[in-house]
Amino acid sequence: MPDLHPDLAVLAPLLGTWAGAGAGEYPTIEPFGYREEVTVGHIGKPFLTYSQRTRATDDGRPLHAETGYIRLPAPDRIELVVVHPTGVTEIDEGTLFVDRGGLAIEVDSTSIGLSGSAKSVTALSRSFRLTGDELTYTVRMAAVGVPLTHHLAATLRRQLG
């Protein structure tokens, strides 16, 4: 495997596979639990690769997946470029905070693309916190006429091996 691009050294703690559980809710749906796996990798270029998939905790059915890239245009700025199989694309931009405890990322959508059959999503906002081998996040969403509101929260742990 090629070396991590030097511009991404601060994000090295994100590399690997993360798994855990989360809970989702939204005013238009019933609350649900899910199991999740996230993989963050690289190919030696100035971006990280990102893939995510979830399954329902009650019966194991697939729920959601997304894939994309993580970019650092400046030392304290971060971008997520994500595509969803539901016909939604998102570009999120925000701030990367680095401290002795780990990393914190706050991003908001600057662009949402929708295919003709996609549900109307108008905004997304994500918060991540990495402390040691624990990655937590929340997602807020504005969609189908509902303003930006809490949608997802999960705690993932680094998978060894």
CATH number for 73: 2.40.128.20
Question: For position 47, what pLDDT does the model report?
Answer: 98
Q: Is 28 annotated as a binding residue?
A: yes
State the residue for tokens 């959601």.
Answer: 64
Contacts of 117 (CB under 8 A, 6+ apart): 87
Q: Whole-angstrom distance between the N-terminal and C-terminal Cα of the chain?
A: 16
Q: Domains in the chain: how many in total?
A: 1
High-pLDDT (> 90) share of the chain, %: 95
d(CA 127, CA 70): 14
> Is the predicted pLDDT of residue 61 greater than 80, yes or no?
yes
Q: Is 151 annotated as a binding residue?
A: yes
> Is the predicted pLDDT of residue 107 greater than 80, yes or no?
yes
Residue 127 is assigned to a structural domain of this protein: yes
20: containing domain? 6-159
Residue 1 is assigned to a structural domain of this protein: no
With cut-offs at 50, 70 and 90, classify the pLDDT of residue 50: very high
Q: Is 119 annotated as a binding residue?
A: yes
Give me 157's structure tokens.
């742990």
With cut-offs at 50, 70 and 90, classify the pLDDT of residue 75: confident
